[in-house]
Structure 1
Amino acid sequence: MSGIASSPADPFAPDFLIDPYPAYAALRALGPVFEIERYGVWAMAGYAEVEPALKDWKTFISGEGVGLHGMNPALPKPLTLQIDPPDHDKGRRVLGRTLSPGVARRLRETFQKEAEKKVSELIDKGTFDAVADLAEAFPMKVFPDAIGIRPDGREKLLAWSTFVFNSFGPENEILAASRKEGLAAQSWIMECCARDALQPDSLGMMIYQAADEGEITEHEATHLVRPFLTAGVDTTVNGIGNTLLALATHPDEYRKLHHRPELARNAFEEGLRYDSPVQTFFRTTSRDVEIGGGVIPAHRKVLLFMASANRDPARWDRPDRFDIERTATGHVGFGAGIHACVGQMIARLEGELIFSELARRVKTIELTAEPKRRLNNSLRGLESMPVRVTAA
């Protein structure tokens, strides 16, 4: 990799993951493309490089796996995230139809009622853990309900997605610590995604209808329900948690939201940009590609720092400032292009509803103890966030 800058940083080390943003600034300063010495991979951290690479699925392919080591044999065969067109199109088309505007309207009503119920419960408590009692509890109720899976054992969804996203990084202690629980959760999830385990008239059953119509096989339907289910949980849990933390630590911004609850959707969007739930993904080059004067050879792993792109001063004015009135459109917190998060519409709906309900009914949110980070090789989220709220 001669002729390009390199970095000794380990983007999967605990100290890096706890506070990655100063390190991202240093990586962006290395230039458009650089080497991560420890893993012998190419990398990009600026918005001008990361965003187009995410959209250029022909050059930066996903079919060789979106992790450091290619396809993980421990994970089920993918039908969306780690697969390229034309095979990718079939599954994506079915999922896209499942989330039609009509379905979204129906979900909004149900989710709204649950948001009202959840916020009432939290106001009554006064003090609570904003991760377990809100960021996890709300998405883990509404979306699995919509998919049609049974209510018991849903904590296994988080164990599974934690392991999956850890597996995209190196074989480190973070991955090792999540493996046993993650793999144990896998069989429960596959059972829940089987046709006879789903509730009638659910989103999960809509996917099986595509199998009845011969569009996909029964086996493919099961393997589409699973990533749909997990995609609607992990990014949402972390997105809500990270945005809540930003609001709790920026009381002026929360005050603004309290006075103007209509900013809720925008506040969540800014939260996704400011502290992205998905920090990094790998791609593999399908050909030699020239970037910023350097050439990345074909068949090489490239690490895309999405969260760094979302803090790039070349793209965002005062990017390290959390500003709920900012136009955050164009951030890559959910990826971009054909592999953008399949659950993002659901995540945005949940974020908008929970933050507008909080804005209307909660006057202040303050931390009562230091939040704890949950370290993950790809995701950025919280283990706990003790807070106190005062009713409006």
Structure 2
Amino acid sequence: METRLTALKLLCEVFLHQKFANKLLNQLKQSQKFSDPDIAFIFKLVYGTIQYKIYLEYVVNKIIDPQKTDKEVQILLWMSLYQIKFLNTPIYSVTFEGVEVVKKINKQLAGFVNVKIKALADSKLWEVNIKNKQNTLALENGFPFWLYQHFKADFGQEIAEKLVLSANQPTLISFRLNLNKISQQDFLAEFQVAHKIEVSKIAKNAYLAASSIFTSRAFVDKLIYIQDETSILAVELLNPQPNTKVLDLCCAPGGKLSYLAQLVGPKTIVTGNEIDVKKQNLIEQNLNACQITNVKLSFLDGRQVKGNFDYIMLDAPCSGWGVFKRKPEIKLKKFTHEAMQSLYQTQAELLSHAFGLLNDNGKLLYATCTINKAENQNLITSFLKKEPTASLLSEEQYFGFESNNNGFYLALISKKL
């Protein structure tokens, strides 16, 4: 019962207070309140309920009045349905645990929850039958229809449907090696077979493994750094050289920054800038974990940074519509028109300012973890029209269904003489 009660509390934080599940779950793991199997179950229950929330709510609303039912109880019923339909948990177990949990909230609702959970076992309730048949696929997969339509308008129906179907797919853990501590050859010799490690198909220093990697010596001794393979690729595309001036304009949490510093070597200083000074400890922790000492940090709005650089990494703030697999709650947030316009303006201003800091023949890598032409392709096209000295060297949109990766956009730009 404790695991389900904990899962419910975390889900309430996500749905009622807009918290991020990954941060809450990492805090729970560090607290060491539960065994590893219990933690794994809580993770699965929380992420699964968030992933399918739209669908779960649709089904549960068939048997309750959402206007008159306590919100925590509604979330408990969503969680219960997820266990019944997607985890194949026996109905008697889900019912018993659900009733025990609701007693902690309001004992008077125990009978109500008992009846409703048993009703959810009827598979006929699970069927999606709506007037707008175009929304069926999205609803069945817990995907917001408005976002599906947005992707369809940007990239066509085939890609939009693939995005919907891949959003809830489990992924492997992506990481790169701390080359200051171990070589690729030695790493693969020791860990590849034991942890079924796959070599990335898109980045040179990227690997994929199951969650067992977290219990390995590789993780404990900081031989690896957890990072999306598309994020690793961004640094490798920029490919900064030693004895040059390098800037990471929006550097938190420090993954790209530490890799940039590693590639240029300890004698070349890399400047890392971050607007939020509260993230300083996190950045420094990640740099220390990778044994990086050749970084100079500043904490400014990226549009206020001064200087001249040969290589600039601009991982711009974005909508985040590419990391549903890692942060499923992102797809549940609909930005206002005003908020999106403000975001587009910020991205354009950061890009223009970053390019102004670039030396002749310098290179700039613009990256976002989103799938949205207005933030990516359209922004770059507009920028290139305004900047006659800018040249697009490469451009790639990853959707996240290609392999294990997340949605990510990469544009490599050079400054001509």
* Greater relative contact order (CA < 8 Å, ≥ 6 in sequence): 1
Category of TM-score, reference length = shorter chain: under 0.3
Flag the structure with larger Rg. 2
Q: TM-score, normalised by structure 2?
A: 0.25
